A = this chain, B = another copy of it.
């Protein structure tokens, strides 16, 4: 029997203008799995995280990920997984992706790394498909690869790791509002205004240019979503007022994380991200909405072996 302990980070998809094509890994916050393989043919998943999860392993995102790995690599084995740490599902910071990425990365480690990083993402996307009915990579790719990942396209999958500025911090708050990904998707129109679309790809170009050139001001100016945010912000009480306060306090940008209801701010100093976090906490506290808030460095570290 061989055992590994793996960590995969939480992540933020739909990075401002990067709706459906970009995601960012959050360091420190994430899932921890202990995974073992031995001779045989089966799968067990034990949840020691304290976070309620479905008992049926067919409902757990880890299951299709493990199966996909075995199928892709032509292996069979008894796989036993213990969930040690778990982000709350529905948080909007890639809870399912963190488990999926950890499972895919862990399997690859257990079998001597037969798969490329991109194929590890492909495995992790099986978990996304179970969770949301679609093969999305905007959380799964950063959760595996770390940093900021651009998904140029899906046919074929084309993942580009973008440079992360040296000083880049993120405050993210998960207000405990119930917004399903399905509901957040169905509110979006099937067709978008040409002008809004052009503004969006101008900003995507600006964001990528800002990340490569280390031009933090340009990154901030480009973090505008003309497509999804105008609709989805209606799920988040006081979104516009909150953003105004967060930007006034020195953050570069504030946007919806994934399909919401989490909200995140980016800043070029830790203190500014802390300030944004405090403003966001007060906002939801005043509204009597419970929340969880994290202030972390954006790093290049993705899924990895861990001792904890």
Chain A residues with a Cβ under 8 A of chain B: 17-22, 150-153, 158, 160, 162, 188-194, 197-209, 212-213, 218, 221-222, 227
Contacts and interface: CB of A to CB of B under 8 A. Distances in A.
A198 B18 CA distance: 9
A176 to B, nearest CB: 29
A18 B221 contact: no
Chain B CB within 10 Å, residue with most, of A20, A201, A206? A201
Contacts of A194: 188-192, 227
A28 B52 CA distance: 67
A198 B209 CA distance: 18
A199 B160 CA distance: 15
- Of the listed residues A20, A188, A197, A218, the one surrounded by the most CB atoms of chain B closer than 10 A to its CB is A197
29 contacts: A17-B201, A18-B205, A19-B198, A21-B201, A22-B205, A150-B205, A150-B206, A151-B202, A152-B205, A152-B206, A152-B209, A152-B218, A153-B203, A153-B221, A158-B206, A160-B218, A189-B194, A191-B193, A191-B194, A192-B192, A192-B194, A197-B197, A197-B200, A197-B201, A201-B201, A204-B204, A204-B205, A205-B208, A208-B208
Contacts of A218: 152, 158, 160
Residue with the highest number of chain B CB atoms closer than 10 Å, among A194, A200, A203: A194
A36 to B, nearest CB: 38
A206 B158 CA distance: 9
Copies per complex? 2
Contact of A201 (B158, B188, B204): B204
A300 to B, nearest CB: 15
A180 to B, nearest CB: 19
Contacts of A151: 202
A210 to B, nearest CB: 8
Contacts of A190: 193-194
A209 B162 contact: yes
**Residue in A150, A160, A188, A198 whose Cβ sees the most chain B Cβ within 10 Å:** A198
B198 A160 contact: no
Given A160-B218, A208-B208, A200 B199 contact: no
Contact of A152 (B18, B150, B189, B222): B222
Given A152-B221, A197-B197, A197-B227, A160 B206 contact: yes
Contacts of A150: 202, 205-206, 209
A188 B207 CA distance: 27
Nearest to A152: B206
